[in-house]
A and B are shown apart, each in its own frame.
Chain A
Amino acid sequence: MEPHLLVARHLSKTFPGQVALNDIDIAIDAGRTHALVGQNGSGKSTFIKVLAGYHQPDEGSEAELNGASFTLGDGEAAHAAGIRFVHQDLGLVNILSAVENISMGVGYTTRRFGRIDWRADTQRAKDGLAALGFADVDVTVPVGRLAPSQKTAVALARALDGWQDHAHLLVLDEPTASLPGDDVERLFEAIRILKSKGVAILYVSHHLDEVFEIADDVTVFRDGRRVTTVATASIDHGGLIELMIGHRLERANHRSSIRLEGEPRLEVRGLEGGTVRGVDLRVRPGEIVGVAGITGSGREMLVPFITGQLPSDAGEVVVDGVSIPNYDPAATIAAGVAFVPADRATLGVVPFASVTANLTLADVERHRRGLRLRHAEEVAECLEWIDRLSIKTAGPLVPVASLSGGNQQKVLFGRSLRLSPTVLILDEPTSGIDVAAKDQILRLIDQAAVDGAAVLVVSTDTDELVQVAHRVVVMVNGVIAEEFSGAEMTTGHIEHALLATQKAGTR
């Protein structure tokens, strides 16, 4: 047997308070597609980030490529060794053409006086794309106008440029997350072409059906450890899920089921748009409903459509019997809905405004007397919230950007909670925050429900959903596929549903 292409040994990565990767040994062979699967938090992304040089591994971690060792945690060393990455967001500049995007990565071909040789660069872009089976891409239009699969191909061509002859390892991180069904097939065709040229592909994905279609080998990560590596042909769907979920201590929800009274506070009827393809939901006062789903299942677009961040194509959102207008956050808030968006930095905080201004943003009018804004009164309210949510800040008037992520998130919670909402909608409420802040935020969610709000929590963290929700619905292919409550609601059942039912999706 040929020696392995990439070998990593004793690869560990410890973050303060958490071991993200624990003594990983992995070997990847040339000319094969190697899938890397695991749940959120299993260490997949950390592993990729160590390979890419974004994170420094712990001491004792080593890696070699083609028998030559290279420094882990050093982006340039990884590049020099022959590893290329295409990340989920592709990293393309939408307003530039394919030619420019590709040349930007590898450098423009220049003639005398630094003049760009457009003809050579155009040819290079065409060749690179043709080699991937994408000869049809118009390399001169802005890539923003290309089809999703074509954009992925441009990113691939850029990663591979000048590298075809001594092809080594190509890492694809969730490459299909934003691809519609037909486009996935074209990407797979490109992967097969590369494989036939001897390139090794490390394919990271949540989508197990894709793994079975494209991968030769599959490595399973769980809780920062490598569980096993097997040939894909030797395992079935159910078996792979077992490996991913394992027999770890299941967190089950032990909250006594509450007595739910009255009409639903929040009702979503036939909501459609983007990857959401017809969602019906009911949340009663005092109830916390969790929404789970892998990326691309529609989960990540549900809150934007309900709260008016994005215009939905069809359906209705009803609060206390009153339908709220589509694509109108102000009307949504006026109807009693408070929400915390998933992307804190771009959709949540006003970074250079003060903690106070951020906290009171959704209802500044409360502190208005006549025309005047009563600053002292506003700051006093902010101080109360700082105290109540234990927000760590140098003061109520410092820019919110000076706070840590978890504390910024608490400010956003304060912004919502002070509206005394009848419906509270939270998208990835604990994403990117530390354990202590997370516990506290879960308690706040609980308290809001006890106070009578209908709460919808959307999260990729199944543990969190099980811990906080009374009922969890699972989205698959844009619709709600399953629902769990009571004793049925365990991380195991939910994660099974997340992964197992993908194939059943007919759309």
Chain B
Amino acid sequence: MTTTVAATADESGPPSNTPAATRSPRSLVSRLRFDRFSGLYLIGIFFVFFGLTEDNFLIWNGSIEFVLTEKVIVVLLALAFLVPLVTETFDLSIGATMALSLVIVNKMALETDLPDGVGAIVAMLACLLIGAINGLIVVKLRVNSFIATLGMSQVISALIRRIHDGGNITAAFGDRYINFGKGSLFSFTWPGSDTKIELPYYFFYGLLVAFIVWYVLEHTPTGRKMFATGGNREAARLSGVKTDRLSWGALIASAGIAGFAGLIYSWKFGTYTSSVGPPLLFTAVGAVFFGASQLKGRPNVWGTVIAVYCLAFGIKGIGLRYPREIDWMQPMFEGLVLIVAVAVASRQAVVKVTKRRTGAPPVPAPRQVESVGASAEAND
């Protein structure tokens, strides 16, 4: 724990302690871009440090493979939060939506003779309906999205209890269903060892969802309009962007992605427990904001993915090193990394803005009060 925090401080230290370094655009420190790539640097440090000190860190089964596959669920939940966030709409019901999907698929497998795939489809449809209702409340009833989805989260939790009265559900899923998620896309044995390297389909389904979200957000007009909606909703609307429709669509997509996270959970663990869903919300939301400090400096897909895995590998290493302390260290670590990463990124942003404002030539327009005010400050 202490070591990793020290490592974090080392990373963030140079840019914040030596302002001279950040002023010169060609200095080594700014070229390394600690502010925008802190997550990747951290992952590197974890691999080197824990790889050297913990025997069980750099092994495939039970460590790397486990982190990669388990955290795909968090990645999806984070993406479910990211999509509406881009349009400045919050969806806090994603955790509950994920749990709903998991409950439905389990319950249907347990209590009906229908194929498990039908259960999965029903679960997805239910989640999409939740998203549509969220959109209706936010767009048509004009309820603030934060409040609307917070309320919806409780409503879904109630539905879940109505469907299933507490405790775990362990459904015996059929082989076809399990293979659809768990079958291996590839498998080979690491040369010189017995380790069999393989990753299940569902990991790649998760990657595929991330890829689609990334593509839509960054490479289609729809994504561009979503970012404009989030950046200045009224300006976007006045430019002909259908901002309400985008928010609505984003909430449906969000619920769909969260529902799919529930299906992945069913493939990986095959069980419903009440600790699934809402408790994962904070981790997912934290990863989105940590991720927003990465790469482009706005909410983005790969930054979010990096954030999830950075935290996951850090926690894995800490867990190996301090197995008895991990219970309290995990949230502490997640919280601190989030704060430090965002602080480092904002510090860089602040430095840039200050430079721009102080360096700005005096603006010869008396009516341009902001600029005049800014240059007056600079003169003081």
Contact = CB atoms under 8 A, between A and B. Distances in A.
Interface of A: 15-18, 20, 46, 54-56, 307-309, 329-330, 332-334, 339, 341, 346-353, 357, 360-365, 367-368, 371-373, 375, 402, 404-406, 415, 431-435
A305 B368 CA distance: 26
Given A329-B237, A434-B365, 18 more contacts: A15-B365, A16-B364, A330-B237, A339-B238, A346-B235, A350-B232, A353-B228, A353-B231, A357-B224, A357-B227, A364-B221, A367-B221, A368-B221, A373-B221, A375-B219, A405-B363, A432-B365, A433-B365
Interface in B178-220: 215, 219-220
B285 to A, nearest CB: 21
Contacts of A346: 232, 234-235
Contacts of B71: none
A329 B238 contact: yes
A405 B365 contact: yes
A51 to B, nearest CB: 15
Contact of B227 (A330, A353, A404): A353
A17 B367 CA distance: 12
A131 B219 CA distance: 62
A352 B238 contact: no
A373 to B, nearest CB: 5
Contacts of B234: 309, 346-347
Nearest to A433: B365
B23 to A, nearest CB: 17
B110 interface: no
A55 B372 CA distance: 9
B220 A372 contact: yes
A414 B371 CA distance: 22
B232 A404 contact: no
Interface residues of B, number: 36
A451 to B, nearest CB: 21
Contacts of A56: 376
Interface in B225-270: 225, 227-228, 231-232, 234-242
A18 B364 contact: yes
Contacts of B44: none
A309 B220 contact: no
B97 to A, nearest CB: 27
Nearest to A308: B238
B366 A18 contact: yes
A360 B69 CA distance: 40
A94 to B, nearest CB: 16
Contacts of B372: 15, 55
B356 interface: yes
B321 interface: no
B19 interface: no
Given A361-B236, A402-B356, A415-B239, A46 B220 contact: no
Nearest to B225: A364
A225 to B, nearest CB: 15
Contacts of A329: 237-240
Contacts of B224: 357, 360-361, 364, 373
B20 to A, nearest CB: 22
14 contacts: A16-B364, A18-B364, A54-B369, A330-B237, A330-B241, A361-B225, A368-B220, A373-B219, A375-B219, A404-B368, A405-B363, A405-B370, A405-B371, A433-B367
